[in-house]
Each structure stands twice: as structure tokens, then as C-alpha cells.
Structure 1
Amino acid sequence: MKKYDVHMCSEVKGCILNYGEPVNGVRIRRELTYAHSVVEIDETVTDANGHFSMPEILITSKKPGDMFVHDVVLQRITILSNEETYVLWNTKQLGIEPFKEIEEKLLTLNGDLSSQEVRFTFPNKKNPSLEFDGLSICRWENDFEVFELKESEGYFSDFV
């Protein structure tokens, strides 16, 4: 069977703050799942300025050639700080090729631990009727529209 290159995740860069101050030494954990079975996990730590980076991850797999496999990559990046877990990035990528829109977001994962997690959408330029969505404590100035705000009580409400 033929093997295919599967794009699991683009390069990741960002900065972690807490009430606007850089957070040194927090763990950033990336969990990637392809076709509900292939799992890649790696971690890094923020520097004194709160910055971190992680390399692009590609794998080789026979699964894309299987007609019974749904090509979906789940991307989850979390911050582990003081026994708390914060969602820095959580989305699903359809297909095995990278999307420029996702790559752009992953290069600017700048989050503040004091921010609430939000569900958001951002445009898919190749297929405008199928927006991307995600969950994060990050905020972006462009191509970022909040549609749900996670309440501290644990439920979601509409956010317009």
C-alpha cells in the first residue's frame, strides 16, 4: 500500500501572560490525533519572557489510502500551570494538507491565563461556506469571531 504524508500540525509560536505579565516555566502540551488512532504528543516550556515554540509535525501513514478512514486531525494545545489546565488551541483539521488560515493562528498563540476560554470561528478562504472553529484563551485582531463564551459555572451562552 502507498504511504502518504499527513500534516498533523504547523509550527507553533506564542507567548503566555498572566494579567499581562510574562509567565516563565509553564508547560505547553500538544496532543495531535489522526484518524482517531495515531497520536503524537510533545511538550515545551515557556522562557523568561513567556515565549515558546514547537516544530511542525508530519507523519507518514497508509491510512489516507483506506476508503474507510475519515481524514481528520484533532489538534489540542494546553497550558499546564499551577495544577490548572488552560486551552490554548483546540480544533479539528479536515484532510491531510495544511491550511494557511490555521498556520497563521498557530504562529500567534498569544494567551493570557486571566482570559476566559471562548469558542470562535475564522474564515476558510478556499471554502467560505465551511468556516474553521476552535476553542482558546487566545485573542486575534483579525479573522476571529467569538460565538460562545465559556461561563465560570460550566455552561455556554450565546455571545453576540
Structure 2
Amino acid sequence: MFGLVKNFDVHMCSEVKGVVLLDGKPVTGAVINRSLEFAYKVEKEDVTKTDTDGRFYLPAININSKIPGDMFSQETTSQFITVTYKDETYVLWSINLRGITELVEYKSKLASLNCDLLSSKVHFTIPNLKNRNLDFSGSGICRWEKDFEIYEVDDGIDYFENF
């Protein structure tokens, strides 16, 4: 009962830094949109554009909330980051963050959200450093050299269409 009057610090998203390329060349003026939703109730959205080098930045987002004091709350933040260029929208990062604290695994990936618009959207896993048996999974067109494994390529074909 007392938790309902207490405010909690809730981490919704780490700072985001990245580069958008098209066939290896920087994309200027692409619109980056970040949508966050905590506990299916609190929504935050921000937008930026890529500079002449294709780079972009979005600050970390933290809020104060009474929601974690509710024993029935779902302490999950949906993180969804897209880029729009020439009327096409691409998913850079789509993942759920469980809990109210920043995860170093997500922070690391969001600090280098680099992509080429010609890359296919993939479903991937990144290692969970606290529980090696429970990897985190997400999707997007970004790639990383380490701590990243693709388990499915989203090629737009519905293989179950005729079932």
C-alpha cells in the first residue's frame, strides 16, 4: 500500500547514437523517431534528423513514476526506433526492456546504432550478462560485430500463408 505513494526512478531508454548509411554512403536529413511506452501507460516520443555524416543522437530518457509501486504493474518499456528516408520507414531497434533500471547490454548497442538502409530487417539476440540462459531478443536493420546473433531474417515472405 505504501508503495503506491512513492515515486520511483524509471529508466526508459539509454542515450542513442548512430549512423545511417545507404549503400555505404551517409544519409543526410533522415528522420529518426524514438517511441517508448512504459507499463502500457506512459508514452514518450522524440525525433531528430541525421547530419551530413549520417550521424544522429537522442538523449537518455528517465522518468519518475508511481507505477512500479503497484503490485499489478507490468514494468516493461517497449523501445521502438525507426528511420524514415524518401517516404520509406525502416526499423532500427525494436525491443522490450524489462524492469526499471538501465541494462548495460542495451546501453552498449544503443550507443552504436549503425545501419545501412539496404540491410534486411533481422530478428536477433544479445547476451544477457546476468543470466546466460536468457538472452534478450529484438529486431531491426542495425548490425554489431560482437554480442549479436541473427536468428531470423525478415524477408517479407509469409511462409504460413497457405496453412
Which range, TM-score by smaller chain?
A: over 0.9
1:90 paired residue among 88, 91, 94: 94
Alignment of 1:30-41 (within 5 A): 30-41=34-45
CA RMSD across the alignment = 1.1
Corresponding residue for 2:60? 56
1:29-61 deviations in whole A, cap 9, x for unaligned?
A: 000000011100000000000000000000000
Which one-letter code corresponds to 1:90 in the other structure?
Answer: S
Corresponding residue for 1:15? 19
Corresponding residue for 1:117? 121
- Runs of 4+ in structure 1 off by over 6 angstroms are none
Q: Distance in 2 between matches of 1:154 and 1:142?
A: 30
- Tell me the CA shift for residue 155 of structure 1: 5.5
Secondary structure at 2:133's aligned position in 1? coil
Q: Does 1:135 align with 2:139?
A: yes
Q: Distance in 1 between matches of 2:23 and 2:158?
A: 22
Q: Distance in 1 between matches of 2:41 and 2:117?
A: 31
Corresponding residue for 1:150? 154
Unmatched 5+ stretches in structure 1: none
Q: Report the TM-score, using the length of structure 2 for normalisation.
A: 0.93
- Tell me the CA shift for residue 128 of structure 1: 1.2
Unmatched 5+ stretches in structure 2: none
Secondary structure at 1:8's aligned position in 2? strand
Corresponding residue for 1:71? 75
- Tell me the CA shift for residue 82 of structure 1: 1.2
Which one-letter code corresponds to 1:152 in the other structure?
Answer: G
The structure with the larger Rg is 2
Aligned length: 156
- Tell me the CA shift for residue 9 of structure 1: 0.2
Q: Distance in 1 between matches of 2:159 and 2:12?
A: 30
Which one-letter code corresponds to 1:11 in the other structure?
Answer: E
Corresponding residue for 1:24? 28
Sequence identity (%): 49
Which one-letter code corresponds to 2:122 in the other structure?
Answer: V
* 1:81–1:155 distance in 2 versus 1, CA, 3 Å: farther
- Tell me the CA shift for residue 153 of structure 1: 2.9
